[in-house]
Amino acid sequence: MRLVVARCTVHYIGRLEASLPEAVRLIMVKADGCVAIHADGGAYKPLNWMNAPNEVKEFPDRWEITNPKGEKLTVMLHEVLSDSSHDLGDDPGLSKDGVEAHLQELRAADPTVIEELVKDVQRIVKAMLAYGARMPKELMLYLKNIVFPDGAIARLAPDLDLLGEIAQISMLFAQRHGERLGRELGIDHTQVEINLDSVKAGLGVSNNTDCMTYRHLQKRRELIQKRMRDHVGR
């Protein structure tokens, strides 16, 4: 991992043209060749980047990063404040929990269980399309992640934090598609915050609720159903 702190300007040419004015930034070069340019803010997302495979050419006053797609990222170095390299070694990878961990365990114990879940997803999605549902691929994939709250989640992870999972999916969606959507809508996607208030309202909980598991949700459902039965029986 190479970390360069420099006063620089950045210009990108490819699918569009974008520039970053002169400022002090962190230039991160990973072992696989990925180059990412960060500011001291904006959470984890870089201001601009070039994924591997690419070619990095270094000149005294600039870097030129190109890839096979014809994209080019030029970093003009006005002042280099720090330049260091670190060997991070092999990373053990992400340790998954929640539904993904349970699905991995199920796959190891009985691969046919996963196949049955996939068939259920395919059946539900086909039924929705047959009824005229027209959704972007990403939204349909998101939908497939939430069609099993009464099935897989109830059996495999009743204590999974549903609000946390929805927030995680939303963050992943924003990370992968936020920049494109921001350009199309004419907004600054880095200023958009994830707001779960509407989700909490749909679940019937207050805005200060930080966690909602399926077990809690099921208890609320049972309570509401009991109240409705008692009201009808009067």
Nearest CA among 28, 17, 76 for reference residue 52: 28
Outline which parts of the chain fall under CATH 2.70.180.20: 2-85
pLDDT for residue 213: 80
pLDDT for residue 3: 95
Helix axes 111-130, 137-144, angle to 10 degrees: 130
Domain covering 2-85: architecture:
Distorted Sandwich (2.70)
User: What is the rounded CA–CA span in Å between residue 214 and residue 171?
Assistant: 21
User: What is the rounded CA–CA span in Å between residue 105 and residue 165?
Assistant: 19
pLDDT for residue 100: 60
Whole-prediction pTM = 0.45
Q: Which residues contact 126 (CB under 8 A, 6 or more apart)?
A: none
pLDDT for residue 110: 64
What's the per-residue H, E or C state across 146-215? CCCCCCHHHHHCCCCEHHHHHHHHHHHHHHHHHHHHHHHHCCCHHHCCCCCHHHHHHHCCCCCCCCCEHH
pLDDT tens over the chain, length 234 residues: 999 999 999 999 987 788 899 999 999 999 888 999 999 876 678 888 888 889 999 999 999 999 988 889 999 999 999 999 999 888 776 665 655 666 666 666 666 655 666 666 666 666 665 555 555 555 555 555 555 455 566 666 677 777 777 777 777 777 777 787 777 777 776 776 667 777 777 666 777 887 878 788 777 777 777 777 776 665
Largest Cα–Cα separation, the chain: 85
